[in-house]
Structure 1
Protein backbone atom coordinates (compact mmCIF):
# COMPACT_ATOMS: atom_id res chain seq x y z
CA UNK A 1 0.00 0.00 0.00
CA UNK A 2 1.30 3.43 -0.89
CA UNK A 3 1.97 5.87 1.92
CA UNK A 4 1.17 9.55 1.49
CA UNK A 5 2.30 12.44 3.63
CA UNK A 6 -0.14 15.27 4.15
CA UNK A 7 1.21 18.74 4.75
CA UNK A 8 -1.95 20.77 4.21
CA UNK A 9 -3.42 21.59 7.59
CA UNK A 10 -5.45 24.59 6.50
CA UNK A 11 -9.20 24.66 6.35
CA UNK A 12 -11.73 26.79 4.50
CA UNK A 13 -15.42 27.42 4.08
CA UNK A 14 -17.51 29.85 2.05
CA UNK A 15 -16.54 32.82 4.25
CA UNK A 16 -12.95 32.12 5.24
CA UNK A 17 -9.87 30.59 3.65
CA UNK A 18 -6.58 29.40 5.14
CA UNK A 19 -7.95 28.79 8.63
CA UNK A 20 -5.68 27.00 11.07
CA UNK A 21 -7.14 24.22 13.16
CA UNK A 22 -7.03 26.57 16.16
CA UNK A 23 -9.27 29.00 14.26
CA UNK A 24 -11.61 26.15 13.30
CA UNK A 25 -11.80 25.05 16.92
CA UNK A 26 -12.51 28.63 18.04
CA UNK A 27 -15.41 28.78 15.55
CA UNK A 28 -16.79 25.50 16.93
CA UNK A 29 -16.58 26.74 20.54
CA UNK A 30 -18.26 30.03 19.54
CA UNK A 31 -21.03 28.10 17.77
CA UNK A 32 -21.70 25.94 20.84
CA UNK A 33 -21.59 28.91 23.24
CA UNK A 34 -24.32 30.71 21.26
CA UNK A 35 -26.87 28.15 22.49
CA UNK A 36 -25.25 25.78 25.02
CA UNK A 37 -28.55 24.06 25.73
CA UNK A 38 -28.75 22.70 22.18
CA UNK A 39 -28.34 19.22 20.77
CA UNK A 40 -24.92 19.23 19.17
CA UNK A 41 -23.23 16.82 16.81
CA UNK A 42 -19.60 17.20 15.80
CA UNK A 43 -19.26 15.26 12.54
CA UNK A 44 -16.15 14.52 10.52
CA UNK A 45 -16.04 12.70 7.20
CA UNK A 46 -13.95 12.40 4.05
CA UNK A 47 -14.79 11.72 0.41
CA UNK A 48 -12.61 11.50 -2.67
CA UNK A 49 -12.75 11.75 -6.41
CA UNK A 50 -10.30 10.20 -8.86
CA UNK A 51 -9.42 12.61 -11.66
CA UNK A 52 -7.30 12.14 -14.80
CA UNK A 53 -3.92 12.69 -13.11
CA UNK A 54 -4.67 12.93 -9.40
CA UNK A 55 -7.09 12.09 -6.59
CA UNK A 56 -8.76 14.82 -4.56
CA UNK A 57 -9.74 14.17 -0.94
CA UNK A 58 -12.03 16.48 1.02
CA UNK A 59 -12.47 16.16 4.78
CA UNK A 60 -15.44 18.00 6.22
CA UNK A 61 -15.88 19.17 9.79
CA UNK A 62 -19.48 20.03 10.68
CA UNK A 63 -20.86 21.17 14.03
CA UNK A 64 -24.65 20.97 14.05
CA UNK A 65 -27.13 22.24 16.59
CA UNK A 66 -30.06 20.07 15.54
CA UNK A 67 -32.86 22.17 14.13
CA UNK A 68 -30.92 25.38 14.72
CA UNK A 69 -28.12 25.46 12.17
CA UNK A 70 -24.60 24.35 11.38
CA UNK A 71 -21.08 25.67 10.98
CA UNK A 72 -18.82 23.77 8.62
CA UNK A 73 -15.42 23.82 6.99
CA UNK A 74 -13.26 21.52 4.94
CA UNK A 75 -9.71 20.50 4.25
CA UNK A 76 -8.54 19.58 0.75
CA UNK A 77 -5.75 17.11 0.02
CA UNK A 78 -4.63 16.37 -3.52
CA UNK A 79 -2.58 13.26 -4.24
CA UNK A 80 -0.70 13.12 -7.56
CA UNK A 81 -1.82 9.54 -8.17
CA UNK A 82 -4.99 8.05 -9.53
CA UNK A 83 -6.03 5.82 -6.65
CA UNK A 84 -8.13 3.17 -8.33
CA UNK A 85 -7.91 0.43 -5.70
CA UNK A 86 -11.18 0.80 -3.81
CA UNK A 87 -9.88 -0.50 -0.47
CA UNK A 88 -6.87 1.79 -0.65
CA UNK A 89 -9.07 4.80 -1.45
CA UNK A 90 -11.60 4.09 1.33
CA UNK A 91 -8.79 3.39 3.78
CA UNK A 92 -7.05 6.66 2.92
CA UNK A 93 -10.33 8.57 3.28
CA UNK A 94 -10.70 7.06 6.74
CA UNK A 95 -7.07 7.91 7.56
CA UNK A 96 -7.65 11.56 6.67
CA UNK A 97 -10.73 11.61 8.92
CA UNK A 98 -8.67 9.98 11.68
CA UNK A 99 -6.04 12.67 11.19
CA UNK A 100 -8.61 15.42 11.81
CA UNK A 101 -10.12 13.49 14.73
CA UNK A 102 -6.66 13.43 16.34
CA UNK A 103 -6.66 17.23 16.40
CA UNK A 104 -9.63 17.04 18.78
CA UNK A 105 -7.49 15.87 21.69
CA UNK A 106 -9.00 15.21 25.11
CA UNK A 107 -8.45 18.81 26.24
CA UNK A 108 -10.41 20.12 23.26
CA UNK A 109 -13.17 17.55 23.69
CA UNK A 110 -13.42 18.52 27.37
CA UNK A 111 -13.71 22.20 26.40
CA UNK A 112 -16.72 21.40 24.20
CA UNK A 113 -18.32 19.09 26.77
CA UNK A 114 -17.90 21.67 29.55
CA UNK A 115 -20.00 24.20 27.63
CA UNK A 116 -22.89 21.76 27.18
CA UNK A 117 -22.65 19.80 30.45
CA UNK A 118 -24.41 22.37 32.72
CA UNK A 119 -27.42 22.20 30.38
CA UNK A 120 -27.80 18.42 30.10
CA UNK A 121 -30.61 18.39 32.70
CA UNK A 122 -32.51 20.72 30.36
CA UNK A 123 -32.12 18.49 27.29
CA UNK A 124 -28.71 19.53 25.95
CA UNK A 125 -26.54 16.88 24.31
CA UNK A 126 -23.22 16.53 22.53
CA UNK A 127 -22.07 13.64 20.35
CA UNK A 128 -19.13 13.05 18.02
CA UNK A 129 -19.66 11.13 14.78
CA UNK A 130 -17.35 9.78 12.10
CA UNK A 131 -19.00 9.74 8.69
CA UNK A 132 -17.63 7.04 6.39
CA UNK A 133 -18.37 7.12 2.66
CA UNK A 134 -19.39 3.47 2.46
CA UNK A 135 -22.70 1.73 2.30
CA UNK A 136 -24.21 -1.61 3.19
CA UNK A 137 -26.13 -3.86 0.92
CA UNK A 138 -25.12 -6.62 -1.44
CA UNK A 139 -24.91 -4.30 -4.46
CA UNK A 140 -22.62 -1.76 -2.77
CA UNK A 141 -18.95 -2.34 -3.69
CA UNK A 142 -17.77 -0.78 -0.41
CA UNK A 143 -19.88 -2.98 1.89
CA UNK A 144 -17.01 -5.44 2.41
CA UNK A 145 -15.05 -2.67 4.18
CA UNK A 146 -17.74 -1.71 6.70
CA UNK A 147 -16.44 -3.70 9.68
CA UNK A 148 -12.86 -2.48 9.22
CA UNK A 149 -13.69 1.22 8.78
CA UNK A 150 -16.37 1.23 11.51
CA UNK A 151 -13.87 -0.30 13.95
CA UNK A 152 -11.34 2.40 13.09
CA UNK A 153 -13.86 5.18 13.82
CA UNK A 154 -15.04 3.47 17.02
CA UNK A 155 -11.43 3.27 18.22
CA UNK A 156 -11.39 7.08 18.17
CA UNK A 157 -14.34 7.26 20.55
CA UNK A 158 -16.70 8.48 17.83
CA UNK A 159 -20.00 7.04 16.67
CA UNK A 160 -19.53 5.69 13.12
CA UNK A 161 -22.12 6.48 10.48
CA UNK A 162 -22.35 4.90 7.02
CA UNK A 163 -24.55 5.83 4.06
CA UNK A 164 -27.21 7.14 4.06
CA UNK A 165 -26.51 8.67 7.51
CA UNK A 166 -22.92 9.63 6.57
CA UNK A 167 -23.91 12.89 4.89
CA UNK A 168 -20.76 14.84 5.84
CA UNK A 169 -18.73 12.43 3.67
CA UNK A 170 -21.31 11.50 1.04
CA UNK A 171 -22.85 14.96 0.50
CA UNK A 172 -20.88 17.86 2.02
CA UNK A 173 -17.35 16.63 1.26
CA UNK A 174 -18.46 15.04 -2.01
CA UNK A 175 -19.62 18.39 -3.33
CA UNK A 176 -16.07 19.77 -3.18
CA UNK A 177 -14.20 16.78 -4.65
CA UNK A 178 -15.23 17.55 -8.23
Structure 2
Protein backbone atom coordinates (compact mmCIF):
# COMPACT_ATOMS: atom_id res chain seq x y z
CA UNK A 1 0.00 0.00 0.00
CA UNK A 2 1.30 3.43 -0.96
CA UNK A 3 0.22 6.86 0.17
CA UNK A 4 1.21 10.33 -0.98
CA UNK A 5 2.55 13.14 1.14
CA UNK A 6 2.34 16.65 -0.34
CA UNK A 7 5.92 17.28 0.84
CA UNK A 8 7.57 13.84 0.73
CA UNK A 9 5.88 12.32 -2.33
CA UNK A 10 4.97 8.64 -2.64
CA UNK A 11 5.54 6.66 0.57
CA UNK A 12 4.98 3.08 1.60
CA UNK A 13 2.72 2.48 4.57
CA UNK A 14 5.78 1.86 6.76
CA UNK A 15 7.40 5.10 5.59
CA UNK A 16 4.19 7.00 6.37
CA UNK A 17 4.08 5.50 9.87
CA UNK A 18 7.75 6.50 10.36
CA UNK A 19 6.82 10.06 9.36
CA UNK A 20 3.91 10.02 11.84
CA UNK A 21 6.15 8.73 14.66
CA UNK A 22 8.77 11.35 13.81
CA UNK A 23 6.17 14.14 13.77
CA UNK A 24 4.83 13.10 17.17
CA UNK A 25 8.37 12.75 18.58
CA UNK A 26 9.08 16.34 17.47
CA UNK A 27 6.82 17.71 20.22
CA UNK A 28 6.00 14.72 22.43
CA UNK A 29 4.17 16.78 25.09
CA UNK A 30 1.58 18.06 22.61
CA UNK A 31 -1.79 16.43 22.13
CA UNK A 32 -2.46 14.58 18.88
CA UNK A 33 -5.34 13.12 16.95
CA UNK A 34 -4.98 10.72 14.07
CA UNK A 35 -7.83 11.33 11.65
CA UNK A 36 -8.94 9.20 8.73
CA UNK A 37 -11.45 10.52 6.19
CA UNK A 38 -12.53 9.62 2.66
CA UNK A 39 -14.25 11.44 -0.17
CA UNK A 40 -15.09 10.60 -3.77
CA UNK A 41 -15.78 12.19 -7.12
CA UNK A 42 -17.29 10.67 -10.26
CA UNK A 43 -15.22 11.48 -13.32
CA UNK A 44 -14.94 10.07 -16.84
CA UNK A 45 -16.86 6.88 -16.16
CA UNK A 46 -14.97 6.12 -12.94
CA UNK A 47 -15.19 7.11 -9.31
CA UNK A 48 -12.06 8.49 -7.68
CA UNK A 49 -11.81 7.69 -3.96
CA UNK A 50 -9.35 9.52 -1.73
CA UNK A 51 -8.64 8.40 1.82
CA UNK A 52 -6.69 10.92 3.89
CA UNK A 53 -4.64 10.29 7.03
CA UNK A 54 -4.15 13.43 9.09
CA UNK A 55 -1.92 13.73 12.15
CA UNK A 56 -3.28 16.79 13.95
CA UNK A 57 -1.04 18.38 16.56
CA UNK A 58 -3.83 20.19 18.41
CA UNK A 59 -3.51 23.97 18.06
CA UNK A 60 -0.11 23.55 16.39
CA UNK A 61 -0.68 22.29 12.85
CA UNK A 62 -0.91 18.97 11.08
CA UNK A 63 0.61 16.66 8.49
CA UNK A 64 -1.39 14.57 6.08
CA UNK A 65 -1.08 11.72 3.62
CA UNK A 66 -3.59 10.37 1.13
CA UNK A 67 -4.34 7.26 -0.86
CA UNK A 68 -6.06 7.40 -4.26
CA UNK A 69 -8.14 4.55 -5.64
CA UNK A 70 -10.08 4.42 -8.86
CA UNK A 71 -13.24 2.32 -9.01
CA UNK A 72 -15.96 1.68 -11.55
CA UNK A 73 -18.53 4.47 -11.75
CA UNK A 74 -20.82 4.45 -8.72
CA UNK A 75 -24.00 6.45 -9.24
CA UNK A 76 -25.75 5.71 -5.95
CA UNK A 77 -24.95 8.27 -3.25
CA UNK A 78 -25.72 5.69 -0.57
CA UNK A 79 -23.28 3.18 -2.07
CA UNK A 80 -20.55 5.86 -2.41
CA UNK A 81 -20.91 6.97 1.23
CA UNK A 82 -20.79 3.38 2.49
CA UNK A 83 -17.76 2.62 0.31
CA UNK A 84 -15.98 5.80 1.53
CA UNK A 85 -16.70 4.81 5.13
CA UNK A 86 -15.46 1.26 4.54
CA UNK A 87 -12.21 2.59 3.04
CA UNK A 88 -11.69 4.83 6.07
CA UNK A 89 -12.39 1.96 8.46
CA UNK A 90 -10.02 -0.35 6.62
CA UNK A 91 -7.12 2.09 6.81
CA UNK A 92 -8.09 3.21 10.31
CA UNK A 93 -7.93 -0.38 11.56
CA UNK A 94 -4.48 -0.92 10.06
CA UNK A 95 -3.21 2.37 11.52
CA UNK A 96 -4.73 1.73 14.97
CA UNK A 97 -3.09 -1.71 15.08
CA UNK A 98 0.24 -0.28 13.97
CA UNK A 99 0.02 2.54 16.56
CA UNK A 100 -0.73 0.05 19.33
CA UNK A 101 2.32 -2.03 18.35
CA UNK A 102 4.51 1.11 18.21
CA UNK A 103 3.37 2.40 21.62
CA UNK A 104 1.34 5.25 20.13
CA UNK A 105 -2.05 3.91 21.17
CA UNK A 106 -2.70 6.85 23.50
CA UNK A 107 -3.36 8.95 20.40
CA UNK A 108 -7.01 8.78 19.51
CA UNK A 109 -8.01 7.67 16.00
CA UNK A 110 -11.08 9.39 14.57
CA UNK A 111 -13.00 8.55 11.43
CA UNK A 112 -14.42 11.56 9.59
CA UNK A 113 -17.48 10.74 7.48
CA UNK A 114 -18.62 12.90 4.57
CA UNK A 115 -22.25 13.16 5.73
CA UNK A 116 -24.14 15.96 7.43
CA UNK A 117 -27.50 16.88 8.88
CA UNK A 118 -28.23 19.13 5.88
CA UNK A 119 -28.49 17.82 2.35
CA UNK A 120 -28.88 14.45 0.69
CA UNK A 121 -26.76 12.48 3.16
CA UNK A 122 -28.77 13.25 6.32
CA UNK A 123 -30.69 9.96 6.08
CA UNK A 124 -27.43 7.97 6.16
CA UNK A 125 -25.96 9.47 9.34
CA UNK A 126 -27.25 6.89 11.81
CA UNK A 127 -26.13 3.94 9.72
CA UNK A 128 -22.59 5.09 8.92
CA UNK A 129 -21.96 6.51 12.41
CA UNK A 130 -23.12 3.16 13.82
CA UNK A 131 -20.78 1.39 11.42
CA UNK A 132 -17.81 3.48 12.67
CA UNK A 133 -18.59 3.39 16.38
CA UNK A 134 -19.36 -0.33 16.16
CA UNK A 135 -15.82 -0.76 14.82
CA UNK A 136 -14.41 0.97 17.91
CA UNK A 137 -13.64 4.42 16.50
CA UNK A 138 -14.96 7.89 17.24
CA UNK A 139 -17.03 9.23 14.34
CA UNK A 140 -17.28 12.85 13.23
CA UNK A 141 -19.77 14.21 10.70
CA UNK A 142 -20.00 17.58 8.95
CA UNK A 143 -19.22 20.29 9.90
CA UNK A 144 -16.62 18.60 12.15
CA UNK A 145 -15.52 16.05 9.52
CA UNK A 146 -12.78 18.15 7.94
CA UNK A 147 -10.68 15.04 7.25
CA UNK A 148 -13.24 13.99 4.64
CA UNK A 149 -14.87 17.23 3.56
CA UNK A 150 -11.68 19.34 3.26
CA UNK A 151 -8.48 17.30 3.13
CA UNK A 152 -9.66 14.27 1.13
CA UNK A 153 -11.96 16.43 -1.01
CA UNK A 154 -8.98 18.55 -2.12
CA UNK A 155 -7.45 15.58 -3.95
CA UNK A 156 -10.56 14.12 -5.61
CA UNK A 157 -10.59 16.71 -8.39
- TM value normalised by structure 2: 0.93
The aligned length equals: 156
Distance 2:100 2:31 in 1: 16
Q: Distance in 2 between matches of 1:105 and 1:130?
A: 11
Which residue of structure 2 aligns with residue 5 of structure 1?
none
Separation in 2, partners of 1:154, 1:30:
29
Distance 1:169 1:105 in 2: 18
Q: Structure 1 CA distance, aligned partners of 2:29 and 2:108?
A: 13
Rg larger in structure: 1
Instruction: List aligned pairs for 1:1-178, cutoff 5 A.
Output: 9-79=1-71, 81-106=72-97, 108-109=99-100, 111-113=103-105, 126-137=107-118, 140-178=119-157
Q: Is the 8 A contact 1:101 1:156 kept in 2?
A: no
Query: Any gaps of 5 or more consecutive residues in structure 1?
Result: 1-8, 117-125
Unaligned runs of 5+ in 2: none
Q: Which moved more, 1:12-21 or 1:86-95?
A: 12-21
Structure with a larger share of its residues in strand: 2
Poorly superposed stretches of 4+, deviation over 6 Å: none
Aligned CA-pair RMSD: 1.4
SS in 1 for 2:44: coil
Alpha carbons of 1:105 and 1:168: their partners in 2 closer, same or farther (altered >3 Å)?
closer
Post-superposition CA distance 1:35-82 (Å, at most 9, x none): 111111100000000112111000000001111121110000011x22
